[in-house]
Amino acid sequence: MKKNTFKAVLMIFLGLVLTTSCSKYKKFDNNEVIENTFTGSVIITSTGTDPAADFTGNEDSGTYSFAWVNSGTVASLNFDITAPSGSSVQFIINDKRGKEVLNKTLNGGTAEDTFSGVSDEGKSGTWKVTIIFTNFTGDGSYSVHPGS
């Protein structure tokens, strides 16, 4: 292989490695709100490595998402809702590269009103936590923690 061709291939390889190892959410600070179209209320009760909040709504919908610095490779999520039939809350967690590692929905008016679980494995770094509220009437809470 010619010297110039080798250099070109090496530069392309290094570019691909650097591009795929970057964090999709690195421009956001820990706990920074990325999107908030939720017409209800989200009251932050804890920040840092273990963010938590309470939320309320009265037939409110929208999306609330924030950046979260996860030092681990999995996330532990706990959330609960008290809501009538027709209300739902969905949590989606993406790792630093944007890979979806958890997707869980709780629907109001059912026996399943609490979730406690661990995500699939992802890359440590700045993750994105998204909460999607649909016709949400009631209240709930969540907490997220680095897993092992």
**CATH code (residue 93):** 2.60.120.260
pLDDT at 23: 82
pLDDT in tens, 32-86: 999 999 999 999 999 999 999 999 999 999 999 999 999 999 999 999 999 999 9
E strand segments, 29-124: 33-36, 41-46, 52-70, 75-82, 88-94, 100-107, 114-118
Please report whether residue 29 resides in a domain. Answer: yes
Please report whether residue 15 resides in a domain. Answer: no
Please report whether residue 18 resides in a domain. Answer: no
- DSSP secondary structure, 34-49, as one string: EEE--SSEEEEEE-TT
Q: How confident is the model at residue 147 (pLDDT cuts 50, 70, 90)?
A: confident
Nearest-angstrom CA–CA distance, 39 and 48? 25
What is the number of structural domains in the chain?
1
Which residues neighbour 135 within 8 Å (Cβ) at sequence distance 6 or greater? 59, 60, 61, 86, 87, 88
pLDDT at 138: 97
Please report whether residue 13 resides in a domain. Answer: no
Residue 14: pLDDT over 50: no
pLDDT in tens, 75-128: 999 999 999 999 999 999 999 999 999 999 999 999 899 999 999 999 999 999
User: What count of other Cβ atoms lies within 10 Å of the Cβ of residue 37?
Assistant: 11
Tokens matching residue 124: 């440590």
**Cα atoms in the 13 Å half-sphere on the side-chain side of 92:** 10
**Which residues sit opposite 88 in a β-bridge?**
107, 134
Cβ 117 vs Cβ 16: under 8 Å: no
Domain that holds residue 29: 24-146
Please report whether residue 35 resides in a domain. Answer: yes
Exposed/middle/buried for residue 64 (C-beta within 10 Å: 0-12, 13-18, 19+): buried
Please report whether residue 10 resides in a domain. Answer: no
> What is the model's pTM?
0.85
Please report whether residue 61 resides in a domain. Answer: yes
Please report whether residue 11 resides in a domain. Answer: no
Nearest-angstrom CA–CA distance, 59 and 6? 61
